[in-house]
A = this chain, B = another copy of it.
Amino acid sequence: MKVTTVKGTNDYLPEEVRLRDHLQEKILKVYRENGFEHIVTPVIEDIENLDKSEGGENLNLIFRILKRGDKLDKAIAAGTYDDLADMGLRYDLTLPLSRYYANNRAKLVLPFKAIQMDRVYRAERPQKGRMREFIQCDIDILGSESNNCELELIKTTAKALLAIEIGGFRVKVNDRRLLKAVLVNMGFAENELDSVCIVFDKLDKIGADGVKAELEEKGCSSDAVVRFGEFIDRGTFTLEEIKKYVNEDAVTIVDEVEHIINVSNELSEGKYEVVFDISLVRGQGYYTGTIFEVESTSFRGAIAGGGRYDGLIGKFTGENVPAVGFSIGFERIYSILSEQNKKDTGMYGKRIAVFYNADEFAKASKKADSFRGEYDVCMIERPKKLGKYINKLEEQGYYGFVVFGEDEEPRVLGNKG
């Protein structure tokens, strides 16, 4: 039997789970307080739903579940190897949410504000920082076109990040429609826009020259590429400046983004900054409007991201339902906070051990109960080498211990007195 986990998945030790639980509980609490409601959907989805979704790259990363019994025999006999699976593991929580909405809308009050905090699966090649099983942590508002949804999502996500003390961060905002309006104005064709966005998204990795080269290669008009090159080289733009790069009909989009940024900054009370960033693209194919991303000011990479995806739910319901969501990168924040050596800082009850002789369980158990509430109490049959054992408990973050029959109150370990 193999003792290790399958590649790309983890066993979490008690100390690790304490931090993970603590973070999930804190985030969930903030979300609930802010009017969102926790829902749960299955990890398994119909394989056709997954395959036909707009998951971009993720569609190549679906874990497929083999059919069973007669249906499997049939698929094999027919030699239809593409047809061996009937279900798959979800690669994100947005597709299941869209299906959930379609399945349950009669029972939901609109706009529906959903919390999801759950496992997703991607058949990535195992490598550092790429996991095959991980937690996503999403809030979404379905059924409203109002920009107040964006304001709520930014504010609530920021509150959750403040609650878990992740350190300084900044919220970047853009709009897919605005970015596309800039590109159109530079001379890119309508049907090139999505692939130009995808190339532009790689700016951090391949640099301005890389972007230009790749666009040339794709056969984009040289004129457009030159203009876009100058645009990139200039670096950052204020919203006022970006107005010069778009047609008049896109100016209302600028106003919307400006409104979202200004109100968000007013509500942030100086605890975080909300800024415009025309270079923000976000990978997913389904975004249709506003997009946002949170970057830590101390750690590289995004710690949260999201945007508006007004088309996705319509794939299930037949009619478009406006939707916008914001997702905290749970594994990223867990990795940041666990590296900060956040040992047992009172996330849960202080732990103590009660040592007892094997034949005294009942009495010792009553004594242990008298400490519960104030402490988490682990009962342990007195080991032969008590001192050595106590040292181990100290390493595990125990607060103290009681030797039943000797101590009335816990003896505090180490420097915690």
Q: Footprint of B on A, CB under 8 Å?
A: 1-6, 9-14, 17-18, 20-21, 32-46, 48-49, 52, 63-66, 68, 76, 81, 84-85, 87, 89, 99-100, 102-104, 107-109, 111, 113, 119, 121, 123, 132-133, 144, 146, 148, 151-152, 155, 263, 266-267, 315-317, 348-349, 351, 353, 358, 361-362, 365-366, 368, 372-373, 376-381, 389, 392-393, 396
| Contact call B1/A316, Cβ cutoff below 8 A | yes
**Alpha-carbon gap, A380 to B377, bound state (A):** 45
Given contacts A6-B45, A46-B2, are A20 and B34 in contact (CB under 8 A)? no
Contact at B358–A11, with CB atoms within 8 Å?
Answer: no
- Given A33-B349, A65-B64, decide whether A38 and B11 contact each other with a Cβ distance below 8 A: no
Contact flag A1-B66 (CB < 8 Å), given A34-B372, A44-B9: no
**Which residues from chain B contact A12 at a C-beta distance below 8 Å?**
39-41
- Residues of chain B lying within 8 A (CB to CB) of residue A151: 361-362, 365
A398 to chain B: closest residue by CB: B109
Could you give 21 example pairs across A and B, Cβ below 8 Å? A2-B48, A3-B317, A11-B42, A13-B104, A14-B37, A17-B39, A17-B40, A33-B372, A34-B372, A34-B378, A35-B379, A63-B65, A63-B66, A65-B65, A66-B84, A68-B123, A84-B84, A148-B358, A151-B362, A263-B362, A267-B362
B6–A41 contact, CB under 8 A?
no
> In the complex, A64→B69 CA distance in Å?
12
Are A81 and B76 in contact, CB atoms less than 8 angstroms apart? yes
In the complex, what distance in Å separates the CA atom of A368 from the CA atom of B34? Answer: 9
- A52, closest chain B residue (CB): B1
Q: Are B37 and A365 interface neighbours, CB within 8 A?
A: no
A276 to chain B minimum Cβ distance, whole angstroms, is: 18
Shortest Cβ gap from A339 to chain B (Å) = 18
B378–A113 CB distance below 8 A: yes
In contact, A35 and B358 (Cβ under 8 angstroms): no
**CB-based nearest B residue for A353:** B35
Which residue from B39, B48, B144, B316 sits with its C-beta under 8 Å from A381?
Answer: B144
The 3 closest A-B pairs by CB, nearest first: A35-B378, A9-B42, A14-B37
Nearest CB on B from A23, distance (A): 13
Q: A37-B14, A39-B12, A63-B65 are in contact. Are A44 and B381 (CB under 8 A)?
A: no
Residue of B nearest to A107 (CB): B13
Q: Which chain B residue has the least Cβ–Cβ distance from A121?
A: B44
